[in-house]
Amino acid sequence: MRINDEGGKEIPLFKVFMPESVIGPLRETLFSGYIGEGPRVEEFERRLAPWFGNGNVLALNNATAGIQLALRLAGVKPGDEVISTPMTCVATNQPILAMGAKVVWADIDPWTGNIDPESVAKKISPKTKAVIAVHWGGYPCDLDELNSLAKRHGIKIIEDASHAFGAEYHLKPVGAHSDFVVASFQAVKEMTTVDGGALICKSGPDHERGRLLRWYGMDRKNRPADLRCEEDIKEYGYKFHMNDVAAAIGIEQLKYVSDNIGKHCANAERYNEAFGDLGTVRILRYKNDRISSCWLYTLLVKDRSGFIEDMNASGIAASKVHTRNDRYSIFKDSLVGLPGVDEFEAEHVCIPVGWWLTEDDIRRVIDTVIRYDHSMRQMA
Ligand SMILES: Cc1ncc(COP(=O)(O)O)c(C=O)c1O
């Protein structure tokens, strides 16, 4: 992106949060003689449990792996169908192909970016095994509607909560509602372990089976002291576990994450107040029965490229962040008409909202957006 000609500094869309205090536990872990999956992973999982309102937490190497593991636990087999949204990172949908299943696209609500339960209902067939719901920007999907559909049809809900660490739906954390919930601790998320993720399972048996499948189908807990792998393997697994180095970072990060999410959401509130009545720039429509993690702040702007140019000229990053997945060749067999996606995809753009914004930054973002809106209205 360009920097303001008048010498303004760049305001990035994302920034890695890494506190100095991580160095102590990290050094201790690195030189402890044990850096694989061990006591720190267990501690991290215990500390994550309240964040998800659920103790069945499996720390993993990333969220993409978490989605594949969830699909496996949901019983998705080659030839099955999985209903999903194209309005997300490709990491949500590639695991469906990895399982040999077919992606069936559902439409989204163009005012939130989230999957529309009514569209999901129309896409359910005898081959449907699961639905993946992505909480765009951290704003939770209609989980009650999705879960009642799933119950009625005997299918599983997998929440891709990669944007939504710390979000709440109907007074309970995201993590406490569906069969499977996947979190991402990738570099620029509000909660990072450099790379990392978690799978949260509603049922104890899924959690126990997931624990085995994340490491070759073997039980690390019952390994003999001489590390022989003589126990039988009853089903194949993966190498999806988190290591103690990542977990040590995660444990430290958890001390700051609540504060950081609070800053994201306070900034989002400032924007909602400032942009609520503009003409050519529209804010998303959120219900107040749920709380977003505010990882992204998304606007709808007709002339998106002109808007991005204007923002960049003022030293402010702006981006679509994710592009619709249904147009990638790998998904060509799933192509269908999706008017809600067309509408959202034509106009959505994300602006900086994170903990790193200073008061000056927030004012500059607000002034630039308002100036853009006024100039567009004058031209109309
Ligand atoms: C919606 C969504 N799902 C999944 C992922 C993949 O996460 P990870 O990098 O932890 O595999 C991302 C990453 O940004 C994401 O935004």
| 157-168 pLDDT per residue, tens | 999 999 999 999
How far is 215 from 213, CA to CA, in rounded Å? Answer: 5
Please tell me the predicted confidence (pLDDT) of residue 105.
98
Q: Could you tell me the distance, in angstroms and rounded to a whole number, from the CA of residue 234 to the centre of ligand 1?
A: 30
Distance, in Å, from the CA atom of 84 to the CA atom of 70, rounded to the nearest integer, reads: 14
- Give the DSSP letter string of 72-130: HHTT--TT-EEEE-SSS-HHHHHHHHHTTPEEEE--B-TTT-SB-HHHHHHH--TTEEE
C-beta separation of 243 from 219 below 8 A: no
| Enclosing H/E stretch for 290 | strand 290-291
Chunked into runs of 10 residues, the chain (380 residues) has average pLDDT values of 52 97 98 96 98 98 98 98 98 98 98 98 98 98 98 98 98 98 98 98 98 94 70 94 98 98 98 96 98 98 96 96 98 98 98 98 98 92
φ/ψ of residue 84, rounded to 5: -150, 175
Q: Residue 52: which H helix or E strand, with range?
A: helix 39-52
Residue 328 amino acid letter: Y
Q: Which of 13, 14, 64 to mutate to test the pocket of ligand 1 (most atoms within 8 A of CB)?
A: 64
> Distance (Å, rounded) from C-alpha 305 to C-alpha 314?
14
Ligand 1 atom with minimal separation from the 64 CA: 11
Which residues are bridge partners to 102 per DSSP?
Answer: 81
Please tell me the predicted confidence (pLDDT) of residue 231. 82
CA of 88, closest atom in ligand 1: 1
C-beta separation of 325 from 298 below 8 A: no
Q: Which atom of ligand 1 is closest in space to residue 184's alpha carbon?
A: 10
Cβ-contact 197, 184 below 8 angstroms: yes
Model-level pTM greater than 0.85?
A: yes
Q: Cα separation of 341 and 1, whole Å?
A: 27
64 lines ligand 1 (CB under 6 A): yes
Q: How many CA atoms lie within 13 A of 354 on its CB side?
A: 22
Distance 270 CA to ligand 1 centre (A): 27
Q: Is 197 in the pocket of ligand 1 (CB under 6 A)?
A: yes
Closest CA to 81 of 62, 106, 107: 106
Beta strands at 156-160 and 180-184: parallel, antiparallel or unpaired: parallel
Q: What's the pLDDT score for residue 260?
A: 98
**What torsion do the CA atoms of 243, 95, 208, 234 make, to the nearest 10 degrees?**
-100
Residues 6+ apart with CB under 8 A from 158: 67, 70, 71, 74, 130, 131, 132, 133, 178, 179, 180, 181, 182
Give the pLDDT confidence score for residue 198 in this predicted structure.
99
H-run or E-run covering 25: helix 23-30
pLDDT of amino acid 221: 80
* Residue 226: other Cβ atoms inside 10 A: 6
| CA separation for the pair 309, 323 (Å, rounded) | 18
